[in-house]
Structure 1
Amino acid sequence: MSKQETVLDVRDKPSLSKWITLSLQHLFAMFGATILVPFLTGLSPAVALVSSGLGTLAYILITKGRIPAYLGSSFAFIAPVGAAMSASGVPGAMVGSFFAGLVYGGVALLIRALGLKWIMKVLPPVVVGPVIMVIGLGLASTAIDMATTDPDGNYSLTYLLVALVTLGITIIATVFFRGFMSIVPILFGITCGYIFAWTQGIVDTSNIAAEWNNITSANGIGEFFGAIFQMPQFVIPFVDYGPLSVLSLEILLILVPVAFVTIAEHIGDQMVLSKVVGNNFLQKPGLHRSIAGDGIATIIASMLGGPPNTTYGENIGVLAITRVFSVFVVGGAAVFAILFGFIGIITDLIGAIPSAVMGGVSILLFGIIASSGLRMMIDNNIDLGEKRNLIISSVILVIGIGGASIKVGDNLEIAGVSLAAFIGVILNLALPGKEKGQGNGKMFQVEDDSNSDNSAA
C-alpha cells in the first residue's frame, strides 16, 4: 500500500475535533469484545476498560510511539481465567495473569538476543492452529448455556429467542455492512440484542434508573460529578489480597502456558499491521518491543483486577479502512476507555445486558476463533496427510476440547488449553520431521535479523 493513500501517518497529530471523532471510532470498535471477556469471566467491565486503556498507553510508550495498536481483553484467557478463579478466586487469576505477563517479557528478551527462528521451532502452525481451535471450541458450551439458560439456571425459550435474534443481527452486520460499520458488528449486535431483550422483559433496569435518578437529582456541580464518576471495583495486590497467599503451581500451570499461544497470535497481528501501515514493525521498533508492550499491558491489568490484554484485530480493521495510522488517535481511544471505566451509569448499562445477548454474540465469536485456528493451518499449507501433523493436531484437539486434565494431589491440576498446548509442544519437539509442521513458514515469514532488532532498541 502506497504512502500516498495515508490520511494520517503514525506520528501525525490530528486537529482536536478530528482527534475526538477518530478516537471514538477506535473505542467503539473494541468496546463490544472487550466488555464481553469480563462479562464471561465474572470480572468487572469497568476495570477491563480502565486496564485496556492504561495498557494501550503503556504499549505506545514502550514501542516509542511507532505502532498504532489498541490492546483489549484477550479471548484466549477466558477459560484459564475462569478456571483460576474457581480455584483461588479473582486474586488467583490476577497472580497467574501477572506471571503470564512476565513470560512475554522473557520471550521479548530472547527475541532481542536470538531473533525469531527459535519461535518457529517451538510454536509451529501445526501446534498453534489446533490450540487456537481448542480455545474457541472449548468455549462453545459456555456460549450455549448463556443463550439458553435464565438466571435461575432453567432452560428458557425467551432467552434462546433473544440469543438467536442477537446472533442474526450480528451476522447481517458482519456480512452486509460496509465502511466503518463493518468494523463494529459486535457492538451493533449487542446494542440491537439489548433493545430486543428489553422488549421481551428480561432486562433489569433498576440500577440504571437509580443511577440516572442520582444524576438528575444532584444539587450543584460537585454533587453532579460525584453522581456521574464512580471508582471501579479494582482488586489490587497487597491492598485487597496477599499475592503470595494465592500463588500456587496450579495457578501458574493454568495461565502461563496460554501466553505462548497469544504471543504467536500477536506476531500474526503485527505482520498484518505492518502490511496495512506499510512499515515493518517487526524490525522497527522491533518485535521484542511490541511483545514486551503486550506483557506490560497484561501485568497492569493483573495489578488492577482486569483480564489479560492483547492487540485487537478489530482496531487493525479500523486502520485499514480509515487509513488513519496516528498513534495519537489510538492513544485518545485509550484515554476515552479509561474515562468510560469511571462513569457509573455506563457500568450499570453493561451490567444490565442479559446473558442471552452475550450468548448470541459468543456463538459467532467463539466459532470465529476456532475457524481462525483452522485458517492458520490452511494458510501455512499444513499437510494433514503427514502422519506427524495428523497425530499432533488430533491429540491437541481431543485433549483440549475433551477437558482432559493431569491432577497431582489435591492442589495441582493442568487442564484445558494449557495441557493441550503443553502436549502439542512436546509432541512437535519429539517426533521426527519437524519441518513438516512448519508448512510454508508464512506464519513467521519475516527477515530474521537479530542485529536489526538490537539496533532498534
Structure 2
Amino acid sequence: MITIKKNISEVSTVNENEKQIVLDVKDTPKPLTWIALSFQHLFAMFGATILVPFLVELDPAVALISSGLGTIAFLLITKWQVPAYLGSSFAFITPIIVAKAEAGVGAAMVGSFLAGLVYGLIALLIKATGHNWVMKVLPPVVVGPVIIVIGLGLAGTAVDMATLNANEYSLQYFTVALVTLLITILSSIFLKGFFNLIPVLLGIAGGYLYSLAIGIIDFSKVIEANWFQVPNFVIPFVNYTPGISLDIILLMVPVVVVTISEHIGHQLVLGKVVGRDYIEKPGLHRSILGDGVATMIAAVLGGPPNTTYGENIGVLAITRVYSVLVILGAAVLAVVFGFIGKISAFISTIPTPVMGGVSILLFGIIASSGLRMMIDSKLDLGNKRNLIITSVILVIGIGEATLKIENFDLHGMALAAIIGIILNLVLPQDKEATINDNQTV
C-alpha cells in the first residue's frame, strides 16, 4: 500500500510539471512558432554577443557565426538534452585586448583555442574522477572576487567609450551614453515579460535612435555593403601562423577558472528551470566539453570565446519553452545573419558612446554578480582567511599587477585567480579566526 501511494504521488507531481511546460526539451514546435521562438532567443543574446567583439575590435559578424556554430556543437555534444545558447564571453575581454596589443590578433586566437583545449582536458578529468573536486578548487571565496575583478577592471574602458571622441572629452558623446544607459535601466526595471530580458538590446536601439537624431551616424557603409558578404574571418595558416608562447598561455588559460565556475552555475540554474539534473545527465563533463569546443570553433574563425548565456536561460524560464530545436533555430539564424553584409555593416554604424553607455551597466552588473555569489554562498568576511583571500585577489586584479621574470609575464586577472587558488589551498581552515569589532587589520 505504501508503494502504491508513493507512485500515485510521483505521477501527480509529473502531471503538474507537464501542465507547466509549453514545449519540453525533445518537443518539435510548429514551423511559424519555431521561427518566432528562435528569433526571441536571438534577440536575447544579440546585444551582449556583439558588444564583446566591438570592445576587442573583432568582427561582430564572426562572433555571431561562431556563437551559432558553437551552440550547435554544444547541442550535439550534450546529446540534444541541454537547451543552452552560447555567446561571446566577457571574461576574456581584457586578456584578448592585452594579447592583441602585445603579439597580434593571431596570438589572441591561439590563446583562446588553448583555453578551449583546457576545457576538454578538465572534462576528461571530471569524466574519470567525478565533479566534486571542481568546487573545492573553485569555491566562492576565489571565484566571487575574480568576477568582481572582471567587471571593475573594465570600468575604465566603459567610461572612455562613453566620454572620449578621438581621445578628447566629448559632451555630445557623453549625452549619447547617458541616454543609452537610462533607456537600458528603465527597460530592465519597468518592462515585463520577454522585453524585461532584452534591456541591453533595447538600450542599444534607443541610443542608436538618439545618435541618429543628433547626426553622428554614417550610413555610407550600409549603402555600399552587399547583401551577401563573407565576414572578416581570422583563420590560422591563412591570416596568421600559429605559435604557442608561455606568455599567451599564462594570459588566457587562467581565465578558464572563472568561466568554468560560471558554466557550472548556469547548468545548476538551467536544471532548476527545466526540471532536470544536468550535472548528472548528460553530465558536467559533456557540457564543459561542449563549452570548450564552442570556444575552439570561435578561435579558429577569429571570434571571441563562447560561454553559456544567462539571458537565454531567462527566456526559457519565462516562456516555459525548453525545446532544443528552438535553440538550434536561434543558432542557425545567428549563422545566417553573420553572412548578410547589410546587417554586418549596420552593426558597424553603432556609435562608440552607445556601447559605452551599455557597458557602464553591464560591467557593473558583472562585478555585482561576483558580490552576489559571495552573499548567496554566505561567505563570512569576518573570517580572517576569507578576508585575506578576497582582499588579495581584488587588489592584484583591479590594480593589474604583473609578474615579470625575463620573458615570463602573468597579468592582472590571471595572476589574481592563480594566487587566489593557491591561497585557498594552502591557508588553514579556521572557523574561529574571525575579526573582532575593535580589531584593525
Fold-level similarity (TM above 0.5): yes
Aligned twin of 1:453: none
Aligned twin of 2:124: 109
1:230 aligns with 2:226: no
**What whole-Å deviation, never above 9, does each CA across 1:159-178 have from its counterpart, x for those lacking one?**
00000000000000000110
1:89 aligns with 2:112: no
Aligned twin of 2:171: 157
List, as ranges, runs of 4+ consecutive aligned residues in structure 1 with deviation greater than 2 Å: 434-437
Shift of the alpha carbon at 1:434? 7.6
Q: Distance in 1 between matches of 2:131 and 2:50?
A: 33
1:186 aligns with 2:185: no
Shift of the alpha carbon at 1:204? 2.0
Aligned twin of 2:304: 307
1:4 aligns with 2:3: no
Secondary structure class of the residue paired with 2:307: strand
1:44 aligns with 2:59: yes
Aligned twin of 1:286: 283
Q: Distance in 1 between matches of 2:241 and 2:323?
A: 40
Q: Distance in 1 between matches of 2:37 and 2:307?
A: 21
The equivalent position to 2:327 in structure 1, one of 326, 330, 350, is 330
Q: Distance in 1 between matches of 2:389 and 2:117?
A: 28
Secondary structure class of the residue paired with 1:111: helix
**What whole-Å deviation, never above 9, does each CA across 1:159-218 have from its counterpart, x for those lacking one?**
00000000000000000110110111100000110110111222122211323xxxxxxx
Q: Distance in 2 between matches of 1:137 and 1:436?
A: 31
Q: Distance in 1 between matches of 2:218 and 2:93?
A: 25
Give the direction of change, closer, same or farther, for the CA distance of 1:436–1:90 in structure 2 (3 Å limit): farther
Aligned twin of 2:428: 432
Structure 2, unaligned stretches of length 5 or more? 1-15, 434-441
Q: Distance in 1 between matches of 2:114 and 2:344?
A: 28
Give the direction of change, closer, same or farther, for the CA distance of 1:436–1:97 in structure 2 (3 Å limit): farther
Aligned twin of 1:371: 368
Shift of the alpha carbon at 1:408? 2.0
Q: Distance in 2 between matches of 1:88 and 1:26?
A: 36
Give the direction of change, closer, same or farther, for the CA distance of 1:435–1:118 in structure 2 (3 Å limit): farther
Q: Which amino acid aligns with 2:236?
A: P
**What whole-Å deviation, never above 9, does each CA across 1:401-432 have from its counterpart, x for those lacking one?**
011111122x4321111011011001111100
Q: Distance in 2 between matches of 1:334 and 1:395?
A: 40
Aligned twin of 2:399: 402
Shift of the alpha carbon at 1:7? 0.4
Secondary structure class of the residue paired with 2:276: coil
Give the direction of change, closer, same or farther, for the CA distance of 1:385–1:183 in structure 2 (3 Å limit): same
Aligned twin of 1:209: 223
Q: Which amino acid aligns with 2:224?
A: A
Structure 1, unaligned stretches of length 5 or more? 212-226, 438-457
- Contact persistence 2:82–2:278 (CA under 8 A): yes
Give the direction of change, closer, same or farther, for the CA distance of 1:95–1:386 in structure 2 (3 Å limit): same
1:273 aligns with 2:270: yes
Q: Distance in 2 between matches of 1:183 and 1:428?
A: 36
Secondary structure class of the residue paired with 2:147: helix
Q: Which amino acid aligns with 1:408?
A: I
TM-score (norm 1): 0.90
Aligned twin of 2:158: 143
Q: Distance in 1 between matches of 2:256 and 2:160?
A: 27
Secondary structure class of the residue paired with 2:84: coil
Aligned twin of 1:121: 136
Q: Distance in 2 between matches of 1:308 and 1:436?
A: 42
Shift of the alpha carbon at 1:3? 2.8
**What whole-Å deviation, never above 9, does each CA across 1:388-411 have from its counterpart, x for those lacking one?**
1000000000000011111122x4
1:133 aligns with 2:130: no
Aligned twin of 1:64: 79
Shift of the alpha carbon at 1:81? 0.8
Q: Distance in 2 between matches of 1:180 and 1:234?
A: 33
Secondary structure class of the residue paired with 1:257: helix
Give the direction of change, closer, same or farther, for the CA distance of 1:159–1:13 in structure 2 (3 Å limit): same
Q: Which amino acid aligns with 1:299?
A: M
Shift of the alpha carbon at 1:436? 9.5
- Contact persistence 1:428–1:434 (CA under 8 A): no
Q: Which amino acid aligns with 1:431?
A: L
Aligned twin of 1:242: 241
**What whole-Å deviation, never above 9, does each CA across 1:28-81 have from its counterpart, x for those lacking one?**
000000000000000110000000000000000000000000000000111111
1:415 aligns with 2:429: no
1:29 aligns with 2:44: yes
Q: Distance in 2 between matches of 1:133 and 1:365?
A: 12
196-205 vs 164-173, greater mean Cα deviation: 196-205
- Contact persistence 2:383–2:431 (CA under 8 A): no
**What whole-Å deviation, never above 9, does each CA across 1:135-163 have from its counterpart, x for those lacking one?**
0000000000000001x111000000000
Aligned twin of 2:92: 77
Q: Which amino acid aligns with 1:110?
A: L
Q: Distance in 1 between matches of 2:101 and 2:422?
A: 28
Secondary structure class of the residue paired with 1:254: helix
Q: Which amino acid aligns with 2:402?
A: S
Aligned twin of 1:197: 211
Aligned twin of 2:13: none
Q: Which amino acid aligns with 1:158?
A: Q
Give the direction of change, closer, same or farther, for the CA distance of 1:376–1:434 in structure 2 (3 Å limit): farther
- Contact persistence 1:94–1:305 (CA under 8 A): yes
Give the direction of change, closer, same or farther, for the CA distance of 1:435–1:429 in structure 2 (3 Å limit): farther
- Contact persistence 1:135–1:417 (CA under 8 A): yes
| RMSD over equivalenced CA pairs, Å | 1.3
Q: Distance in 2 between matches of 1:436 and 1:405?
A: 34
Alignment of 1:162-177 (within 5 A): 162-177=176-191
Q: Distance in 2 between matches of 1:210 and 1:96?
A: 35
Aligned twin of 1:316: 313
